[in-house]
Amino acid sequence: MITLKQHSILPGFNLALGFTLVYLSLIVLIPLSAAFLRTAELTWPEFWSIVTTPRVVASYRLTFGASLAAATVNVVFGLLVAWVLVRYHFPGKKIVDALVDLPFALPTAVAGIALTALYAGNGWIGQFLEPLGIKVAFTPLGIFVALTFIGLPFVVRTVQPVLEDIETELEEAAATLGANRLQTFMRVIFPVIFPALMTGFALAFARAIGEYGSVIFIAGNMPMVSEITPLLIITKLEQYDYAGATALSVVMLVISFTLLLIINLLQWWSRRRSSKT
């Protein structure tokens, strides 16, 4: 260990790192490796046929589509909320700022039943949409609503600190050079916050892909129509189809790890961008 670590007079390195590694291995790494090792017991054609059946492919399409749509909406409105919270003053601002984190703190099952009750045909919001022929609860649209809710804080919280740090001198310079407000925003502010915006998008998207609790109540869960991939894993598990559930979970893990890598790259880019300006 001596060669791996720079000298320090502080004690406790071996104990702290040793405990960290043992804990992480027992709680996270060994159980996670179980998914990969159990899947390795399948042959490649077996694995491939499990993860590409039409019902499974339909669930990928739905999970990705709804997550993408929800994360996109969150980019637009997340930027708007972050902008309003950083730049403007209005009564109740502190409370609104604190409540933005509600989707992080509210258990997903509670969000799920609340949204379902609101968007059902007789719910507060559903009763106005029903006559227009828009059905939200128990359709893919409902999944989009739930995923928008749980992804809401990500873009706001990644963009907010970057907006706070922008020096007004830049904007003043743009204004003196004859730019109007929209031009200043598009040419000066937007490039600075763009990496943070993308990070927020990726975080919201990654969270949405794996989300289960808030979605299953509102989705209706019809195979081929409104069945998300995490639910399909549970369904397979309940039918004692361990191989199927494990194969699907490996697909989800690979997607998660890829997204994690992308998010790390985006955050690195974001830090570099903001340290340059």
Partner 1 sequence: MMVTSTFPVLPQTSIQRATQEPNWVRWLLIALAFAFLTLFLFIPLISVFYEAFKKGADVYLAAITDPDALSAIKLTLTVAAIAVPLNLVFGVAAAWAIAKFEFRGKNLLITLIDLPFSVSPVVSGLIYVLVFGLQGWFGSWLAEHDMKIIFAVPGIVLATVFVTVPFIARELIPLMQAQGTEEEEAAVVLGASGWQTFYKVTLPNIKWGLLYGAILCNARAMGEFGAVSVVSGHIRGSTNTMPLHVEILYNEYNFAAAFAVASLLALLALITLVLKTLIEIHNKKNLKERGEK
Site residues (CB under 8 A) for partner 1, limited to 156-215? 168, 171-172, 175-176, 181, 184, 206, 209-213
Segment near partner 1 (CB under 8 A); pick from 53-61, 126-134, 192-200, 231-239 = 231-239
Tell me the residue ranges of DSSP E strands in 127-241.
Answer: none
For residue 29, give the DSSP letter: I
Residue 90 CB, shortest distance to partner 1, in Å, is 6
Does 274 sit near partner 1 (CB under 8 A)?
no
Does 27 sit near partner 1 (CB under 8 A)?
yes
The residues in 37-66 that bind partner 1, with binding defined as CB under 8 A, are 38
Does 235 sit near partner 1 (CB under 8 A)?
no
C-alpha distances out from residue 63 to 46, 95, 135, 156, 225, Å: 23, 33, 19, 23, 11
Segment near partner 1 (CB under 8 A); pick from 44-52, 54-62, 75-83, 134-142 = 75-83
Q: Which residue blocks in 211-276 are alpha helix, DSSP H?
A: 213-219, 229-238, 242-276
Q: Which residue has the tokens 């907010």?
A: 160
Task: Provide φ and ψ at 191, rounded to 5°.
Answer: -60, -30
CB neighbours of residue 250 within 10 Å: 19
Segment near partner 1 (CB under 8 A); pick from 133-141, 193-201, 218-226, 239-247 = 239-247
Nearer to partner 1, 213 or 220 (CB): 213
The residues in 132-151 that bind partner 1, with binding defined as CB under 8 A, are 145, 148-149
Name which position in 40, 46, 104, 161 contacts partner 1 (CB under 8 A).
104
- 243: which residues sit within 8 A by CB, 6+ positions away? 38, 39, 41, 42, 46, 50
